[in-house]
């Protein structure tokens, strides 16, 4: 007997259940059990005249001639940070993510901070951190903030949702506090641009952050806008698809902190009369492994060393989720020999704050299964992942005609459509987002309640690592979330790794995956080993000896067992390994939005039940 979803062995699969022996036919709800709101048609008549792009977000500008900091701007402060009672960005369940192990390597031992007050932050930066809703540093922040303050080049390997953006923005901007007048390029006061009496200047950033996707660039820029508040440092962002003339005008008003996607960055680097890196002091490559997977090594060589930056004056930092050969080579070629390496957690891991359900569905019945699932859920933000742009359009159209408020995003959409989709998802106007892998990495949308893998990622779409990135869109920073995946016979190549992920995070393994449980393994007490391919040897490379030890039995959470030593013996001279301790607290990263009514509307907030967004398939 077969149910409506086509589970194997004639066993019906209701939403949010593992495969079981039931022989009853699955129920198909006639209508949703919750009010998702009304579908919203896209306004194709809107023009781009006077349109507010992601690159034109309000930033703090002060033309004072004295002092190191600017005065308070209450109106902008409210726009950037939201109301004081809404300034929180962490959930309540840190019990699982508090057990994440941390390891470090390098010639210098990094003493982690336990709270932001220990970080030696400038009072204004400390105030910005507090207003942004950060209460306790995440594991990556505990180590990166003091490492950057000590002046080291840095490699940081940490999974998505670990607070990497603040881990480099806060200490870098803090190091530049009070030095803007000395280091930054001169520029006319902002009112001269407003009244048309000023000429645009050549952009000469002190900080450059390169990231793979447009939505991620806008998200980092939004964080930079908060942390640059009152610092006299002017942030800007450039990315493909957006109007280049407006972006050039923005950086032409003065640019101290630039966030960029690689393609657009190369474009403006070819305009030396408008842009130069000669004043650069910090360069950050975020999601380095994803960009290098796209074979941009030559372009990165140009970005890292082909500009006018002064050799020896620039601190280089690579932030990545994995550590493949391309990232190793990039580090070898451009980072100082005495750089520090920090790794948080096991590469490819998830955490138990995310409930994972794998449901067997016949390929031809996926749409019906999706409709049943959505109708059975309480209303909340949901991201539905698919493997192709065509499928994204089709599922968006299908759900729209089923009266669900949805939108979609993929790399073939115009930049206007992409920004409109993210804005509508952020404020809850369309709480269901159908997306390709463009949304899988780095994007932080707070209070996403559900992730649905309509298509599980194939080997061509990133495999198990892509799966972990996708489900990481929910259950962030102490919140809990739910990830449901439709498994078909086409997904057999993912079955073994998927089973191991379920066991590692203490999730139930459905009947049809039981055969993939390794022999002699206790499913209730299983830990995956690190993927050694991430440390794959290149030609002529003997490899490094990254210490990956986590907490041992009896080791206190939060301990820091430093393993002294000299060279690792590797021909790349990585330095001495160190076994780190474990982060003893939660996360605490995020941004704000506002709630008005059921879903919220515009602005900033954190007090509603839907949360915030800002958000990235690779495109340039």
DSSP state of 522: -
d(CA 478, CA 590) in angstroms, rounded, equals: 11
**In terms of domains, do 411 and 357 share one?**
yes
Q: Are 317 and 156 in contact (CB under 8 A)?
A: yes
Domain CATH code at residue 418: 3.40.50.300
Euclidean distance between CA atoms 237 and 222, whole angstroms: 9
Within a 13 Å sphere around the CA of 564, how many CA atoms are in the beta-carbon half? 0
In terms of DSSP H, where are the helices of 195-274?
214-227, 244-252, 262-269
The reply to whether 415 falls in a domain is: yes
pLDDT in tens, 49-99: 566 677 777 777 765 555 578 889 999 999 898 888 666 655 444 444 455
For residues 383 and 526, membership in a common domain is answered with yes
Q: Are residues 283 and 362 in the same domain?
A: no
Model pLDDT for residues 190-244, shown as the tens digit of each residue: 888 888 888 899 999 999 999 988 888 998 999 999 999 999 899 999 998 888 9
End-of-domain residue from the set 316, 344, 372: 344
Q: Say what percent of the chain tops pLDDT 90.
A: 35
Q: Is the pLDDT of residue 589 over 60?
A: no
275-322 per-position pLDDT tens digit: 999 999 999 999 887 777 666 777 777 888 766 777 788 999 999 877
Same domain, 279 and 371: no
**CA separation (Å) from 426 to 66, 129, 263, 423, 433?**
39, 22, 26, 5, 10
| CB 288 within 8 Å of CB 330 | yes
Which structural domain, as residue segments, surrounds residue 380? 351-534+585-620
> Residues 118, 221: one domain?
yes
pTM to 2 decimals?
0.73
- Assigned domain for 16 exists: no
Q: Identify whether residues 526 and 418 lie together within a single domain.
A: yes
Statement to judge: residues 417 and 490 lie in one domain: yes
Task: Report the DSSP pairing between strands 406-409 and 207-210.
Answer: unpaired
Number of CB atoms found within 10 A of residue 553's CB? 4
Please check whether residue 41 lies inside any domain of the structure: no
Asked if residue 339 and residue 271 are part of one domain, the reply reads yes
- Helical segments of 27-176, H only: 74-81, 123-131, 139-149, 164-176
Q: pLDDT digit string (tens) for 446-467?
A: 778 999 999 999 877 778 888 8
The DSSP code for 582 is: B
Question: What is the DSSP secondary-structure string of 305-328?
Answer: HSSSPPTTS-EEEEEESS--HHHH
Q: Quick one: the chain helix, strand, coil %, rounded to 5?
A: 35, 10, 55
Same domain, yes or no, for 240 and 375? no
Mean pLDDT of 597-602: 33
Work out the number of other CB atoms within 10 angstroms of the CB of residue 27.
Answer: 14
Angle between helices 74-81 and 123-131 (to 10 degrees): 50
- Of 414, 337, 425, the C-alpha closest to 37 is 425
In a domain, 563, yes or no: no
CA 538/CA 548 separation, integer angstroms: 20
Q: Are 257 and 161 within one domain?
A: yes
**Which residues, including other chains, have CB under 8 Å from residue 119's CB and lie 6 or more apart?**
113, 137, 145, 146, 149, 170, 171, 174
- Does one domain contain both 339 and 441? no
Considering only 36-45, 426-435, 451-460, 463-472, which range has the smallest mean pLDDT?
A: 36-45
- Give Cα 173 to chain centroid, integer Å: 20
Q: Is residue 375 part of a domain?
A: yes
CB 324 within 8 A of CB 290: no
Q: Quick one: pLDDT at residue 89?
A: 59
DSSP state letter for 164? H
Is 558 within a domain?
A: no
Based on the fold, state whether residues 301 and 388 are members of the same structural domain: no
Of 344, 370, 392, which marks where a domain is finished? 344
**Would 71 be classed as within a structural domain?**
no
Residue 380 lies in a domain: yes
Point out the domain boundary residue: 344, 361, 376. Answer: 344
Domain count, the chain: 2
Closest CA to 224 of 185, 255, 178, 180: 255
pLDDT in tens, 498-520: 998 898 888 889 999 999 988 87
Q: How many angstroms separate the CA atoms of 271 and 185, rounded? A: 17
């Amino acid at each position: 007997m077969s149910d409506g979803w086509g589970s194997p062995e004639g066993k019906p699969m209701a939403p949010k259940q593992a495969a079981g022996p039931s022989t009853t036919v699955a129920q198909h709800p006639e209508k949703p059990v919750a009010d998702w709101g009304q579908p919203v048609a896209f306004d194709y008549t809107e023009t781009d005249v006077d349109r507010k792009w992601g690159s034109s977000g309000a930033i703090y500008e002060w033309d004072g001639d004295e002092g190191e900091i600017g005065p308070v701007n209450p109106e902008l402060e409210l726009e950037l940070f939201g109301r004081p009672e809404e300034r929180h960005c962490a959930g309540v369940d840190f019990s699982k993510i508090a057990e994440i192990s941390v390891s470090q390597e390098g010639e210098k031992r990094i003493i982690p901070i336990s709270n932001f007050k220990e970080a030696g932050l400038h009072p204004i930066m400390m105030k910005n951190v507090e207003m942004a809703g950060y209460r306790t540093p995440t594991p990556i922040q505990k180590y990166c903030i003091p490492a950057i303050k000590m002046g080291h080049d840095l490699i940081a390997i940490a999974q998505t949702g670990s607070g990497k953006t603040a881990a480099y923005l806060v200490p870098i901007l803090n190091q530049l506090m009070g030095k803007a007048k000395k280091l930054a390029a001169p520029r006319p006061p902002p009112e001269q641009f407003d009244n048309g009496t000023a000429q645009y200047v050549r952009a000469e950033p002190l900080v450059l952050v390169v990231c793979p996707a447009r939505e991620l660039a806008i998200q980092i820029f939004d964080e930079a806008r908060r942390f640059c508040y009152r610092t006299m440092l002017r942030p800007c962002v450039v990315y493909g698809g957006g109007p280049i003339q407006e972006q050039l005008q923005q950086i032409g008003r003065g640019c101290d902190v630039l966030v960029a996607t690689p393609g657009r960055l190369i474009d403006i680097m070819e305009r030396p009369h408008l842009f130069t890196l000669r004043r650069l002091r910090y360069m950050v490559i975020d999601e380095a492994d994803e960009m290098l997977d796209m074979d941009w090594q030559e372009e990165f060589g140009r970005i890292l060393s082909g500009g006018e930056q002064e050799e020896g004056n620039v601190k280089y930092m690579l932030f990545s989720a994995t550590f493949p050969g391309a990232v190793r080579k990039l580090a070898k070629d451009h980072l100082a020999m005495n750089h520090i390496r920090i790794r948080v957690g096991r590469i490819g891991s998830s955490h138990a704050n995310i409930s994972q359900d794998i449901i067997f569905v016949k390929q031809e019945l996926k749409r019906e299964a999706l409709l049943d699932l959505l109708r059975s859920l309480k209303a909340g933000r949901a991201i539905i992942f698919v493997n192709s742009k065509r499928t994204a359009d089709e599922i968006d159209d299908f759900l729209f005609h089923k009266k669900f408020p949805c939108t979609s995003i993929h790399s073939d959409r115009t930049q206007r459509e992409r920004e409109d989709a993210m804005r509508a998802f952020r404020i809850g106007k369309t709480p269901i987002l159908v997306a390709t892998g463009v949304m899988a990495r780095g994007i932080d949308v707070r209070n996403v309640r559900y992730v649905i893998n309509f298509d599980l990622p194939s080997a061509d779409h990133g495999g198990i690592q892509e799966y972990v990135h996708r489900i990481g869109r929910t259950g962030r920073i102490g919140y809990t979330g739910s990830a449901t995946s439709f498994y078909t016979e086409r997904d057999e190549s993912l079955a073994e790794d998927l089973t191991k992920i379920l066991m590692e995070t203490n999730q139930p393994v459905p009947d049809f995956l039981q055969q993939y449980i390794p022999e002699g393994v206790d499913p209730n007490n299983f830990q995956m080993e690190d993927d050694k391919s991430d440390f794959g040897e290149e030609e002529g490379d003997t490899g490094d000896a990254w210490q990956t030890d986590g907490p041992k039995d009896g080791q206190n959470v939060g301990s820091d067992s430093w393993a002294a030593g000299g060279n690792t013996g590797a021909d790349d001279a990585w330095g001495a390994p160190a076994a780190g301790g474990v982060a003893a607290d939660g996360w605490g990263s995020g941004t704000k939005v506002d709630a008005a009514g059921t879903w919220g509307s515009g602005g900033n907030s954190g007090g509603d039940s839907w949360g915030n967004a800002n958000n990235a398939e690779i495109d340039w």
